[in-house]
Chains A and B, each alone.
Chain A
Amino acid sequence: MSKQKGPGLLLIGVGTMLTSMTVAGFGLGLFVDYWLDTPPLFMLIFGGLGIVGGIIKVHGLLSKLG
Chain B
Amino acid sequence: MSGSSDGGGTVAYIQHHLTNLCVGDCDPVTHKAAGFWALHVDTVFFSVALGVLMIVVSHRLGQNLVTGTPGGFQNFVEMIIDFVSGQVKDTFPGHNPIIAPLALTIFVWVWLMNFMDLIPVDLLPLIASGVLGIEYLKVVPTTDLNTTMAMSLTVFALILYYNFKVKGAAGYLKMFLFHPFGKFFVPVNIVMTVIEELAKPLSLGLRLFGNLFAGELVFLLIALIGGTMAVGLGALIWFPLQVVLDLGWLIFHLLVITLQAFIFMVLTIVYLAMAHTEDH
A24 CB contact (under 8 Å) in B89, B199, B269, B270: B199
Q: Report which residue of A2, A49, A53 has the largest number of chain B beta carbons within 10 angstroms of its beta carbon.
A: A53
Contact A21 B195 (CB under 8 A): yes
B191 CB contact (under 8 Å) in A5, A10, A20, A46: A46
Interface flag for A66 (CB, 8 Å): no
Contact B207 A13 (CB under 8 A): yes
- Please count how many residues in chain B sit with their CB below 8 Å of the partner chain's CB atoms: 27
Chain B interface, >50% SS class:
helix
- Please count how many residues in chain A sit with their CB below 8 Å of the partner chain's CB atoms: 27
Q: Within the complex, what minimum Cβ distance (angstroms) separates B210 from chain A?
A: 9
Within residues 177 to 230 of chain B, which ones have a CB less than 8 A from any CB in chain A?
Answer: 180, 188, 191-192, 194-196, 198-200, 202-204, 206-207
Pick the interface stretch among B45-53, B66-74, B90-98: B90-98
- A12, B207: Cα distance in complex, Å: 11
A13-B263, A46-B191 in contact; A21/B270 too (CB < 8 A)? no
Interface flag for B267 (CB, 8 Å): yes
Within residues 20 to 66 of chain A, which ones have a CB less than 8 A from any CB in chain B?
Answer: 20-21, 23-25, 27-28, 46, 49-50, 52-54, 56-57
Contact B194 A4 (CB under 8 A): no
- How many A-B residue contacts, CB cutoff 8 Å? 77
Contact B203 A17 (CB under 8 A): yes
Contact B202 A6 (CB under 8 A): no
- A4, B263: Cα distance in complex, Å: 17
Chain A interface, >50% SS class:
helix
Q: Within the complex, what minimum Cβ distance (angstroms) separates B277 from chain A?
A: 9
Q: Report which residue of B192, B200, B263 has the largest number of chain A beta carbons within 10 angstroms of its beta carbon.
A: B192
A6-B92, A20-B199 in contact; A49/B270 too (CB < 8 A)? no
* Inter-chain contacts of A28 with B (CB < 8 A): 191, 194-195, 198
Q: What are 26 A-to-B residue pairs whose CB atoms are below 8 Å?
A: A4-B91, A6-B91, A6-B93, A6-B273, A7-B270, A9-B91, A9-B266, A9-B269, A10-B267, A12-B263, A13-B204, A13-B263, A16-B206, A19-B203, A20-B199, A20-B200, A20-B203, A21-B196, A24-B198, A46-B195, A49-B188, A49-B195, A53-B180, A53-B192, A53-B196, A57-B196
